[in-house]
Amino acid sequence: MVSDRAAGWAARIWAWIGGGLVTLVGLPLLLGGGYLVFRGGSPYYLLAGAAVTATGVMAVRRHPAAGLVYAATLAATLGWALWEAGFAFWPLLPRLFAPAVLGLFLLLVIPTAPRGARRNQSGAAVALTSLVLLGVQAAALPATFSWGQAASPAVVRPQPPGSETPGSGTPADERAGDWRAYGRDPGGSRYSPVDQINRENVDELKVAWTFRTALPAHAGDQDQNTPQMAGGAVYVCTPRNVVIALDPDTGREKWRHDPKVQSHFWHRCRGVGYWDGTEPAPTSASTPVTASGAPTRAPARAPAANAPAAKAPTNRVPATNAAPTPVAGQQVAAAPAPPACVRRILSSTINAQLIALDADTGRRCPGFGQGGVVDLRTGMGAFQPPFYFQTSMPMVAGNLVIVGGWVLDNQAVGEPSGVVRAYDVVTGELAWAWDLGDPAIDKLPPEGQTYTRGTPNMWSTPAYDPALGLVYLPIGNATPDYWGSHRTAVSERYSSSVVALDVRTGKERWRFQTVHHDVWDYDVPAQPMLVDFPVGEGSAPALVQLTKRGQIFVLDRRTGTPLTRVVESPVPQGAMPGEWLSPTQPYSAEMPAVGVDAVTEKRMWGATPLDQLACRIRFRSVRYDGDFTPPGGPERPSLQFPGNAGGMNWGSGAFDPRRGLLIVSDVRMPQTVSLERTGEARLSPARVAGRPPQSARAIAYASKNEWLLSPLFAPCLEPPHGMISAIDVHTREIVWQVPAGTAEAQAPLGLRSGLPIPIGTLGIGGPITTAGGVTFRAATTDPYLWAYDNATGAVLWKGALPVSAAGTPSTYVSPKTGKQYVVVSAGGGGNPLAPKGDYVVAFALP
């Protein structure tokens, strides 16, 4: 009897504990669900919360029907989940998995009820429904591994004659195996016409070599570098602008140059410029294009004093420096050393310097600027160091090197100028300046003046067409990004635009604006892509501009006229007091928009139902009217989607001319925006040691931007959060669209799940593609380099990296061995909690 009494007490205590825990789950659902209904949201959480709470109370009281109530709740949950989310693994996860697990837990509590048929029925019902929910969840899993792949392969189309990379300005006889520029060629195609590595053998890739820079990451560092190969060396740059030359076959260090830069934050180096003085000046130096588009002849520039006379294109040292052919019995004298700085690396730094290095030795070129350095602060006026510097590579255009600058966002008005400048690649002399605020300033500003302050800047990478003699600038917006009532008429004309300049003079040819009165930080982030675009029965020289909005604009790069229809569509109104908004915005009507499906309550996600409920409440608490919802105030923030990271960003896209495929990667993360009035210029003390800005007027409003995250720091928007898409430029339709990366390195609270399930992760670095029919991309939260089939989007291979990568990979053919490599810098990605590293990893076939 004593043992029966003890067992009874134990059952009651366990019922109190187990039922109490179930009740603790139900009450937040009940109360939060009630608030969600008050906000106009789904009634499910209120009803489910009431049912779960009732189940918990009944379990505490050891009621034998507790399980039946919960089983009915699970059955209703399954129907609701399939109605809202469909048969999709990730959207179903927070709706089904946790409720099923709670049901299995309840099975441990049900036996505390008095014995009888009702108790047995409760247990069976809960077990059955819980297993059904888990079974449905599991059944939805296999489809994620073929998510978005093409049902039929993309067609291989005949290539236009005479060019491996149509429209890129890269002739077919140039070193096909080089990767000379950030986008491989001046037109940013990110297409390599080599095919040693192809769809059939890419799964055989192995690590060929690994190099470590021995420069550990510090606060503010992010490795976004794209390795470049030219002239028999691979060139990489670290976040703090240390440039290193490596052997293409072994990864052995040849030389390094450390500029010992000092900067407070935002340490980035995406690439370097490469110039070869043994090659003739590109076409644009001798064939400028008139306003009508007809070429006119002009004398070619004379070669530099320290460079040999221009001959046929070659990467070899001129014959005068070559060793003589040995003759039997004759001693051969050593070959003379090549002239210094005949080939150059141009590096722009995070402390606003432009440095010219000898590509063979890493030494500074003494005839360039002052001891190999041009001070980019000249003409800018007074400013604190964090307000202006360079993060993107300088563009080498013939015998000029063109630089813009990154300007600190959202801090003040009257920040440093967005001037774009071109320098002589040999002497460092300023060739021209484009000051959009004062076209009369075409070189240095007059004594006592500065370039126009507060104008939109070019922080990303331009493109260059040697045949047309035009350079194409992706322009940002005037600061601060989210408040524009103070902006000048000239800033309004140029913000978030693409601008074409005559490369010889810096004079404007045309411009096209992608956003009017941009108060969403939708500046143009991607390098313009120069391709031959099908029009009617033929093709036209086109500029393809990817945007943060997910819109893709296709322009005739000779005139700026749209080749695909652009329409002005009405957008939401209702700005903060003192602000105004454009009534319409441009949309690309004949190209697919990527990743722009409207955010709805049904698309809210999270790790658990409670997490998802919190996200739904947050969604219902902000203003969201679709595209271009005006920035909100602290009482009711606005929801911005796509967010200011994109859509597409500085990673840009790739173009496969064999299949006519435009391949892009995008980010899908909404953010909230809140404007708060401020009476003084706002600066983060951690960024600039608390010092106030110089020569800057106070901003009217300070913006607070936050990712839309759950209380467990899971994204509130359901996956995917990053995708890769292939667009057929002939049909102008998406051929395939697949998630980029797996959930392996993702979990709530910044943890790692270890699940190799495709989910589509955040990442800004872009794709590259090859004649072998393979697209490569890193820039996922998991530590891999991925290879995709251009025809279908299927994953062909993934190569493990020591840590994740943030930048864009490249591919090259070694001039010594003829072997093709794929190389990527791996520094730890953009997640501040992710492991950091200092790796450069090259893959090759065995």
HEC secondary structure over 661-720: EEEEEEECCCEEEEEEECCCCCCCHHHHCCCCCCCCCCCCEEEEEEECECCCCCECECCC
> Is domain 191-260+267-277+340-679+712-844 annotated with CATH 2.140.10.10?
yes
> Span 783-802, mean pLDDT?
97
DSSP structural state of residue 38: H
Among 107-116, 292-301, 456-465, 797-806, the least confident range: 292-301
Q: Would the pLDDT of 320 be above 50?
A: no
| Least reliable range by pLDDT among 268-272, 305-309, 730-734, 835-839 | 305-309
Closest CA to 211 of 837, 839, 825, 823: 839
Quote the distance between the C-alpha of residue 104 and its chain's center.
42
Residues 575/581, Cβ–Cβ less than 8 Å: yes
551-560, 693-702, 792-801: least confident range: 693-702
- How far apart CA 181 and CA 398 sit, in angstroms, is 13
In the chain, where does the domain assigned CATH 2.140.10.10 lie? 191-260+267-277+340-679+712-844
Q: What percent of the chain lies above the pLDDT cut of 90?
A: 68
Can you say whether the dihedral through the CA atoms of 229, 235, 236, 241 is positive or negative?
A: negative
Q: How far apart are CA 664 and CA 444, in angstroms?
A: 39
Q: Residue 334: its pLDDT value, please?
A: 40
Q: Which pLDDT band, with edges at 50, 70 and 90, does 170 fall under? A: very low
List the structure tokens of 232.
């028999």
pLDDT above 50 (res 323): no
CA distance 226 to 421: 23
Active site residue 782: no
Which residues, 6+ apart, have CB-to-CB distance to 607 below 8 Å?
94, 710, 712, 714, 747, 748
Rounded Cα gap, residues 508 and 487, in angstroms = 21
Q: How far is residue 761's CA from residue 746's CA, in Å, rounded to a whole number?
A: 9
Pick left, alpha or beta for residue 431 (phi over 0 → left; psi -120 to 50 → alpha; otherwise beta): alpha
Contact 600, 698 (CB under 8 A): no
Q: Which two tokens stand for residue 742?
A: 């797996």
Name residue 246's beta-bridge partners.
234, 253
Decide: residue 623, CB within 10 A, 0-12 exposed, 13-18 middle, 19+ buried.
middle
The residue ranking higher by pLDDT, 301 or 496, is: 496
Query: Are 538 and 595 contacting, i.e. CB atoms less than 8 angstroms apart?
Result: no
Residues 6+ apart with CB under 8 A from 675: 482, 483, 576, 631, 632, 633, 634, 701, 702, 703, 704
Q: How confident is the model at residue 652 (pLDDT cuts 50, 70, 90)?
A: very high
- Selecting among 521, 523, 627, 789, the annotated active-site residue is 521
Structure tokens at 841: 């990893």
What average pLDDT is seen over the chain?
A: 86
